[in-house]
Amino acid sequence: MSLKLTILGCHSATPRVNANPTSQFLQIKNHHFLIDCGEGTQVQLRKNKIKFSKINHIFISHLHGDHMFGLIGLISSFRLLNREKELHIYGPKGLKDIITLRLKLSDSWTHYKLIFHELTSNSSELIFESKSVEVYTIPLDHRIYTNGFLFKEKQGERQLDMNAIKNEPEIDICDYQNLKNGKDFIKEDGSVILNTSVTKDPKPIISYAYCSDTKYTESIIPIIENVDCLYHESTFLKDRTDLAEKTKHATSEQAAMIASKAKVKQLLLGHYSGRYKSKAPFLEEAKVYFQNSILAEEGQTYEIK
């Protein structure tokens, strides 16, 4: 299995020509999640040929504009496109007030159901769960209340070892689900076929952690440990560690330190400040601490295996 992550925007602060504020589109199992929604996100969705109707869940990290000024526009466009499916929005307390005040004053209530899941906890919590996927918050340390999000597949069923099963004539196709659930098989003579002798471990689960915006904080390590891919903001290079500290952002070096300490498989850098002309130094600085670092680029889709 794999996750697919499309970067719609990976720049900080003000939108510029060819530099969009944060938004990501994540495909995990049969779910499609939008993560943050800076101004211009709906045009980025169109440019990347992502159907609006796929989006049923939007996760907003915090209420700074470069992470959510595009949300009201997207909600309104859903309305104009005659959306009927309900839309779930997860984000800090206050988000509902912001959106509903606008809808009220423009007399543009949605015909579809808009369901806000407002977040206030400072501990990691499960905020979305389906048969196959879970989403947890990752409390971050930024200037205002901010959460990252951990997306992970649920542990699947055990896998049948068909070679072993065909040597056990008493096992019928009707027994497969019990075996997948981990149960042993009891033969007619009362003897036991151990589950592990006819099944294999479930497929490994895949996980993705989104951490933006945040200063360097090791408190997130227990939550993101061993994820397959970590997106960690790297607003600055190490030359402006002072500014990162002051604005509660991180440098690419710090992002790589977190990646290394959390033993993640891959680090995706982003949320670049507009002050830097080239992104190459972000990668160079990160690789010193964490070799498997890559740069987020707008319009790129990353397959996480």
- Determine the angle formed by the axes of helices 280-289 and 252-261, rounding to 10 degrees: 30
Q: Does the footprint of a second copy cover residue 267 (CB under 8 A)?
A: no
Q: CA distances (Å), 195 to each of 43, 128, 160, 203, in order?
A: 51, 31, 9, 16
Type of residue numbered 296:
A
Q: How far is the CB of 105 from a second copy (least distance, A)?
A: 4
Among 69, 112, 176, 276, binds a second copy (CB under 8 A): 69
Instruction: Report how many residues bind a second copy under the rule CB under 8 A.
Output: 36
Quick one: which of 125, 151, 210 has its CA closest to 32?
151
CA distance 172 to 180: 13
Q: Does the footprint of a second copy cover residue 105 (CB under 8 A)?
A: yes
Q: Does the footprint of a second copy cover residue 102 (CB under 8 A)?
A: yes
CA distance 142 to 144: 5
Q: 249, exposed or middle or buried, with CB in 10 Å at 0-12, 13-18, 19+?
A: buried
Active site (annotated) includes residue 66: yes
Report 108-137 residues binding a second copy (CB under 8 A): 108
CA distance 215 to 102: 32
Nearer to a second copy, 71 or 230 (CB): 71
* Part of the chain binding a second copy (CB under 8 A), chosen from 105-113, 119-127, 147-155, 201-209: 105-113
What the block records as the tokens of 174 is: 């009707």
Among 14, 159, 196, 301, binds a second copy (CB under 8 A): 14
Q: Does the footprint of a second copy cover residue 101 (CB under 8 A)?
A: yes
| Cβ pair 37, 67 in contact under 8 A | yes
Nearer to a second copy, 44 or 293 (CB): 44
CA angle 256, 250, 214 (to 5 degrees): 110
Q: Does the footprint of a second copy cover residue 54 (CB under 8 A)?
A: no
Quick one: which of 84, 83, 74, 79 has its CA closest to 35?
74
Q: How far is the CB of 38 from a second copy (least distance, A)?
A: 9
* Part of the chain binding a second copy (CB under 8 A), chosen from 90-98, 148-156, 184-192, 227-235: 90-98
Question: Beta 57-59 vs 31-35: how paired, if at all?
Answer: parallel
Among 53, 54, 65, 196, binds a second copy (CB under 8 A): 65
Q: Is residue 213 reached through a cis peptide bond, with omega within 30 degrees of 0 on the bond before it?
A: yes
Spatial CB neighbours of 237, under 8 Å, sequence gap ≥ 6: 251, 252, 253, 276, 281, 282, 285
What the block records as the tokens of 232 is: 């960690």
Among 46, 183, 200, 246, binds a second copy (CB under 8 A): 46
Q: How far is the CB of 282 from a second copy (least distance, A)?
A: 20
Nearer to a second copy, 60 or 179 (CB): 60
Q: 9: which strand partners?
A: 23
* Part of the chain binding a second copy (CB under 8 A), chosen from 10-18, 121-129, 149-157, 275-283: 10-18
* Part of the chain binding a second copy (CB under 8 A), chosen from 75-83, 165-173, 186-194, 276-284: 75-83
Among 4, 16, 187, 305, binds a second copy (CB under 8 A): 16
Q: Which residues bind a second copy (CB under 8 A)?
A: 13-17, 39-40, 42-43, 46-47, 62-65, 69-70, 72-73, 76-77, 80-81, 92, 94-95, 97-98, 101-102, 105-108, 143-144
Q: Which residues are catalytic?
A: 66
